[in-house]
Amino acid sequence: MKAFIIHRYGKNEVGQIGEMPEPNLKDDDVLVQIHAASINVLDSKIRSGEFKLILPYRLPLILGNDMAGTVVRVGPRGSRFKPGDEVYARPDDDRIGTFAEFISVKEESLALKPRNLSMEEAASVPLVGLTAWQVLVEVAKLKAGQKVFIHAGSGGVGTIAIQLAKHLGAFVATTTSTSNVEWVKALGADLVIDYKKQPFETVLHDYDVVLNSLGNDVLEKSLQVLKPGGQLISISGPPTPDFAEQQGLSWPLKQVLRLLSHGIRKQARLRGIHYTFVFMKASGPQLREISSLIEAGAIKPVVDRLFPLDSTADALAYVGTGRAKGKVIVKVK
């Protein structure tokens, strides 16, 4: 099958289209013909080798972390899906590879595609939708009337997180660039800060939750906007000892992550704030919840551009510029 693969890790590694064997089907797997996949920042981080100690993939590696497509075959223990079903998923961490014509996905990680979305729109949802859900619903337990600050409102996670937070009844603040202010307000944000004109930490106070997807300098400033008892939740790191424990990492790696996150954990503790690192997990049941919200009109995916599979490297480069509004899609079929 045709796929976009990397042969080595590195900041200068681009990746290329090549031929790979079709994936094997385990007893509880579903083989899916991929129609569309989407680009995530995680793809570039994996390609550069940022996660090679935490996620030790075998090379050559097919990149890609979410997709929508059609069920081709179901393993002998499968019961939820049948050939022809239109589905979408974020495959498990150790089973990525959606920039390809086929993928084998655990049945429990898969969900039926929302009926009111195209394949391209559906492919934009799984990773960012599950990230927003796991941060706001699972970890923050966000409640109506609470105040949440979501960094980078025009990004993939930001566009979904704003809509989900509003559905949950929260007051939502976010940041974006000058040209996107009105566009982000239309997603439902109550307060939009143009980061080119105003430092967010001078405007926002007494927030319950911050969702951080940016660098360490922004992470530390985010502490200033939270009230005591608030939650600083980061999807961009640094990872914590709790995360290392959940991943079953080796003792030396656990100590490395303890050191990396020591500073922000200490600063948060001194302010009475809880710091959590979230690395999104695959989940079919949570995707079904998200599908219900999409079909009810509470969440609408935002697609910026489409690229053919042969131009996956260009799609990754475009997302790397940081100018994408919503998600960038790789059209496979």
Query: 112-147: per-residue pLDDT in tens?
Result: 999 999 999 999 999 999 999 999 999 999 999 999
Q: How many CB atoms lie within 10 A of CB 14?
A: 12
Continuous segment of H or E residues that includes residue 264: helix 251-270
The fraction of the chain above a pLDDT of 90, given in percent, is 92
Distance CA 44, CA 42 (A): 5
Please name the residue ranges forming H helices in 4-112.
41-48
Architecture in CATH of 128-277: 3-Layer(aba) Sandwich (3.40)
Give 217 or 313, the one with higher predicted confidence: 313
Cβ–Cβ under 8 Å, residues 158 and 213: yes
Distance CA 254, CA 171 (A): 36
- The mean pLDDT value for 48-77 works out to 95
- The mean pLDDT value for 182-206 works out to 95
Q: Which of 20-34, 96-110, 165-179, 244-258 has the lowest mean pLDDT?
A: 244-258
Q: Quick check: 25 pLDDT over 90?
A: yes
Cβ–Cβ under 8 Å, residues 38 and 329: yes
pTM to 2 decimals? 0.97
Distances (CA, A) of 41 to 219, 307, 322: 18, 16, 10
Q: Which residues contact 198 (CB under 8 A, 6 or more apart)?
A: none
Per residue in 199-246, pLDDT (tens digit) is: 999 999 999 999 999 988 899 999 999 999 999 999 998 999 999 998
The whole-number pLDDT of residue 322 equals 87
The whole-number pLDDT of residue 95 equals 95
User: For the chain, how big is the Rg over CA atoms in Å?
Assistant: 19
The whole-number pLDDT of residue 168 equals 98
Closest residue by Cα to residue 149 from 83, 234, 43: 234
Q: Any idea where the domains of the chain sit in the sequence?
A: 2-125+301-331, 128-277
Per residue in 270-299, pLDDT (tens digit) is: 999 999 999 999 999 999 999 999 999 999
The whole-number pLDDT of residue 251 equals 92
Architecture in CATH of 2-125+301-331: Alpha-Beta Complex (3.90)
The whole-number pLDDT of residue 197 equals 94
Per residue in 65-112, pLDDT (tens digit) is: 999 999 999 999 999 999 999 999 999 999 999 999 999 999 999 999
- The mean pLDDT value for 19-41 works out to 97
Distance CA 31, CA 70 (A): 9
* Residue 18 identity: G
The fraction of the chain above a pLDDT of 70, given in percent, is 100
